């Protein structure tokens, strides 16, 4: 299974001033597989150390910080000769041994000739308050679930995926039905690598949902492992309410929809926990569209999305036929799956924070807005071929310097005031701005 981030790893290997790399990401997005593949293909040897429930790993880092000793001990435990430039050292589940994370500082300062990669969950890395993160001493990358383009490559092969990446935007009409059908499949499976591989091999819808539920159970176990009972209950309440709030078409996340009388102070830590874990995306509101957008962030209003559309379907218990057959998935659920899908793609390809826009009188809402270079990119998401974009048109009138994009099931076309981009080409949005 090919991941686009692989090329970033190759660039890291040969980069000047390379530091130890921390590959972050939610659980089950494929961090371990990607690093092992990278080590096997790009290096002569790979020394893999898993810190999860590993007393030997704890012993290695519990002692004094001497990189020569640490390298010697990792070599002994992994039974791998570690040579500078020829061996990739992988420290997996690094959040389980806080001092292992701290040791990366000393690899950077005292042994820069070695290639060291660490993998860990976003949550685990962020919660160890007793251990300082080696800021400035590591390179960082984040791995997300497979994008739609990566999904197409896994299911259909390189030819169609390469066309999605490089083909002229106006030349997809002839294969529109094929790409739309693949989009339905992606809505159902999502982009978790294990699930996509299962679907590729067996084409079993029941197995897909079974594995989605297994991942959700693993997340639930993490919640119980890292929090007390009271906080765990609140986290689950937030998690379970996201799908419902998205399908209601709320302009923002409403605490009162979690439970009657709920207030921000009751659930803000639970939301932060989910965000830190990387299993929820928080999209804040802005009420003024001017560069830099970050200056106009409204910290009191935001939308919440899951990290993966397939997991959203599992949480909502959406039947497979509702997603895969006909246009139900585009017409029902008030566009919730479509917004989830678009945000999921934008998170991978963006360079800046993704916001949504809501005017002071609440008569104008832009689904997603971000900076692309020195330009503001305003995006309206349509689940069908509905081409009405009243809010976007008015926004464009009020902000003529903005690039207006409508993402819908209609074909690509440039109009005098906006560009319509098919949903299956969402990954190309930033290249047309």
pLDDT of residue 333: 60
What would the pLDDT profile of 75-118 be if each residue is shown by its tens digit?
999 999 999 999 999 999 998 898 999 999 999 999 999 999 99
Q: Which of 8-22, 193-207, 324-338 has the lowest mean pLDDT?
A: 324-338
Q: How far is CA 174 from the centre of its chain?
A: 30
| Domain enclosing residue 87, as ranges | 5-142
CB 374 within 8 A of CB 343: no
Q: Which of 109, 142, 175 is the last residue of a domain?
A: 142
What would the pLDDT profile of 253-294 be if each residue is shown by its tens digit?
999 889 888 888 999 999 999 998 899 999 999 989 999 999
CB 24 within 8 A of CB 124: no
pLDDT of residue 343: 97
The percent of residues above 70 in pLDDT, for the chain, comes to 94
> What are the b/e assignments for 25-43, b being 16+ CB within 10 Å?
bbbbbbbbbbbbbbbeeeb
Q: Are 159 and 100 contained in the same domain?
A: no
Q: Are 349 and 416 contained in the same domain?
A: yes
How far is Cα 67 from Cα 86, in angstroms, rounded to an integer?
A: 17
How far is Cα 41 from Cα 20, in angstroms, rounded to an integer?
A: 19
Contacts of the segment 322-325: beta carbons below 8 A, 24+ positions apart: 323/184, 323/187, 323/188, 324/184, 324/185, 324/188, 324/205
Q: Which of 142, 176, 198 is the last residue of a domain?
A: 142
* pLDDT confidence band for 123 (50 / 70 / 90): low
Mean pLDDT of 236-254: 86
Q: Are 238 and 162 contained in the same domain?
A: yes
Q: Are 136 and 153 contained in the same domain?
A: no
Q: Which of 142, 163, 180 is the last residue of a domain?
A: 142
Q: Are 162 and 198 contained in the same domain?
A: yes
Q: What is the number of domains present in the chain?
A: 2
Spatial CB neighbours of 225, under 8 Å, sequence gap ≥ 6: none
Q: Are 134 and 152 contained in the same domain?
A: no
Q: Are 24 and 166 contained in the same domain?
A: no
- CATH number at 62 reads 3.40.50.300
What would the pLDDT profile of 57-70 be if each residue is shown by its tens digit?
999 998 888 999 99
Q: Are 189 and 334 contained in the same domain?
A: yes
Q: Are 99 and 163 contained in the same domain?
A: no
pLDDT surpassing 80 at residue 376:
yes
Mean pLDDT of 327-337: 65
Spatial CB neighbours of 1, under 8 Å, sequence gap ≥ 6: 30, 33, 146, 150, 154, 193, 196, 197
Q: Are 106 and 193 contained in the same domain?
A: no
Q: Are 215 and 116 contained in the same domain?
A: no
How far is Cα 122 from Cα 27, in angstroms, rounded to an integer?
A: 8
pLDDT surpassing 70 at residue 32:
yes
Label each residue of the chain as H, E or C: CCCCHHHHHHHHHHCCCCCCEEEEECCCCCHHHHHHHHHHHHCCEEEEEECCCCHHHHHHHHCCCCHHHHHHHHHHHHCCCCCCCCEEEEEECHHHCHHHHHHHHHHHHHCCCCEEEEEEEHHHHHHCCCCCCCCCCCEEEECCCCCHHHHHHHHHCHHHHHHHHHCCHHHCHHHHHHHHHHHHHHHHHCCCHHHHHHHHHHCCHHHHHHHHHHHHHHHHHHHHHHCCHHHHHHHHHHHHHHHHHHHCCCCCCCHHHCCCCCCHHHHHHHHHHHHHCCCEEEEEEECCCCCCHHHHEEEEEEEEEECCHHHHHHHHCCCHHHHHCCCHHHHCHHHHHHHHHHHHHHHHHCCCCCEEEECCCCCCEEEEEEEECCEEEEEEECCCCCCCCHHHHHHHHHCCCCEEEEEECCCCEECCCCEEEEHHHHHHHHHCC
Residue with more model confidence, 274 or 247: 274
Q: Are 272 and 236 contained in the same domain?
A: yes
pLDDT surpassing 80 at residue 385:
no
């Amino acid at each position: 299974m090919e991941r686009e981030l692989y090329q970033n790893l190759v660039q890291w290997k040969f980069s000047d001033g390379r530091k130890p790399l921390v590959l972050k990401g939610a659980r089950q997005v494929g961090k371990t597989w990607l690093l092992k593949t990278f080590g096997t293909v790009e290096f002569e040897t790979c020394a893999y150390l898993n810190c999860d429930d590993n007393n030997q790993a704890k012993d290695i880092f519990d002692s004094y910080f001497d990189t020569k000793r640490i390298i010697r001990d990792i070599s002994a435990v992994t039974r791998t000769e570690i040579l500078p430039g020829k061996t990739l050292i992988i420290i997996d589940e690094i959040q389980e041994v806080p001092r292992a994370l701290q040791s990366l500082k000393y690899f950077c300062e005292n042994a820069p000739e070695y290639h060291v990669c660490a993998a860990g969950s976003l949550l685990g890395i962020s919660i160890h308050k007793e251990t300082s993160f080696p800021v400035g001493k590591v390179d960082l990358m984040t791995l997300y679930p497979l994008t739609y383009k990566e999904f197409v490559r896994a299911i259909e092969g390189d030819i169609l995926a390469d066309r999605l990446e490089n083909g002229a935007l106006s030349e997809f009409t002839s294969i529109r039905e094929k790409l739309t059908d693949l989009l339905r499949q992606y809505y159902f499976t999502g982009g978790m690598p294990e699930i996509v591989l299962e679907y590729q091999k067996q084409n079993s819808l029941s197995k897909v949902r079974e594995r989605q539920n297994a991942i959700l159970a693993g997340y639930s176990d993490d919640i119980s492992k890292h929090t007390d009972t009271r906080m765990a209950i609140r986290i689950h309440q937030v998690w379970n309410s996201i799908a419902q709030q998205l399908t209601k078409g709320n302009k923002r996340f409403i605490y009162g929809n979690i439970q009657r009388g709920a207030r921000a102070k009751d659930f803000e830590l639970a939301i932060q926990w989910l965000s830190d874990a990387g299993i929820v995306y928080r999209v804040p509101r802005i009420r003024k569209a001017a560069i830099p957008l970050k200056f106009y962030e409204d910290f009191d209003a935001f939308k919440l999305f899951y990290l993966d559309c397939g997991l959203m379907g599992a949480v909502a218990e959406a039947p497979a036929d509702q997603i895969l057959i006909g246009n139900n998935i585009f017409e029902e659920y008030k566009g919730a799956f479509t917004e989830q899908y678009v945000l999921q793609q934008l998170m991978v390809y963006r360079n800046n924070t993704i916001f949504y826009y809501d005017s002071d009188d609440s008569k104008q809402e832009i689904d997603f807005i971000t900076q692309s270079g020195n330009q503001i990119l305003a995006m309206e998401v349509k689940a069908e071929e509905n081409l009405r974009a009243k809010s976007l048109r008015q926004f464009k009138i009020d902000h003529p310097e903005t690039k207006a994009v409508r993402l819908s099931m209609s074909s690509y076309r440039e109009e005098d005031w906006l560009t319509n981009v098919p949903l299956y080409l969402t990954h190309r949005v930033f290249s047309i701005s």
